[in-house]
Chains A and B, each alone.
Chain A
Amino acid sequence: DAKTTQPNSMESNEEEPVHLPCNHSTISGTDYIHWYRQLPSQGPEYVIHGLTSNVNNRMASLAIAEDRKSSTLILHRATLRDAAVYYCILWAGGTSYGKLTFGQGTILTVHP
């Protein structure tokens, strides 16, 4: 399985944008990039996913490099509720019921 590399931790101030990077240099052409986040003492929740083009939804934006070897999750205005562990995960497209492999993720701290 292709692996992802994320910084262990990042910090931000409230109401400022946050850019969470993810490297996936061994990504294959059919791998989808997914982001999940886990709030303290809860199960992870889906944030966003993409294949080649940048994606936006109500929670965040996903910017994917042209060579697809890296991506960035963008939180446009961080709030205290965004403090969580963020996981960047690859899933092989075309595989039914893909098992998600979670790394250690990035711990995001948001300061008031």
Chain B
Amino acid sequence: DGGITQSPKYLFRKEGQNVTLSCEQNLNHDAMYWYRQDPGQGLRLIYYSQIVNDFQKGDIAEGYSVSREKKESFPLTVTSAQKNPTAFYLCASSTDRPYGYTFGSGTRLTVV
């Protein structure tokens, strides 16, 4: 079945360490997105990519980095510069229409 796979589901990181969240899709979607969600809040866009080897900052890109070397993959690195990284991270992909958005099941990152 086509879909988006995020791994791991839960991730613990020591303060000061970088960590990379994986996102893979087999839907043949051109666009991919990373969102962050804090408890009781809506989703906030971190980065998005409309094509391989190109990506743009979203609303809260500081302290994060991404790459898009393959159409299927859009990993997110949470760097030590991110002051409050504990959150639920969601990856999504889409066609050129927003009703084509498909989300992964998320990675819950906790800084210890």
Binding site for B on A (CB under 8 A): 32, 34, 36, 41-46, 49, 87, 89, 91, 96-105
Contacts and interface: CB of A to CB of B under 8 A. Distances in A.
B74 to A, nearest CB: 13
Nearest to B50: A97
| Pairs of residues from A and B, 8 with the lowest C-beta to C-beta distance, nearest first | A43-B103, A102-B43, A102-B42, A97-B31, A91-B98, A97-B50, A49-B99, A104-B42
Interface of B: 4, 30-31, 33, 35, 40-45, 48, 50, 58, 88, 90, 92, 94, 96-106, 108
Given A96-B50, A97-B96, A98-B98, A43 B105 contact: yes
Contacts of A99: 33, 45, 48, 58
A100 B108 CA distance: 21
A105 B96 CA distance: 24
Given A43-B105, A45-B103, A100 B98 contact: yes
Nearest to A44: B103
A46 B42 contact: no
A105 B90 contact: no
A34 B98 contact: yes
Nearest to B106: A43
Nearest to A85: B42
A89 B97 CA distance: 13
Nearest to B45: A99
8 contacts: A41-B88, A42-B106, A44-B103, A89-B98, A97-B31, A101-B45, A103-B42, A104-B41
A17 B10 CA distance: 36
For A34, A43, A44, A45, which residue has the most chain B Cβ atoms within 10 angstroms?
A: A43
A90 to B, nearest CB: 10
A57 B106 CA distance: 27
Given A34-B99, A99-B58, A44 B94 contact: no
Nearest to A100: B98
Contacts of A104: 40-42
A3 B44 CA distance: 15
A42 B90 CA distance: 9
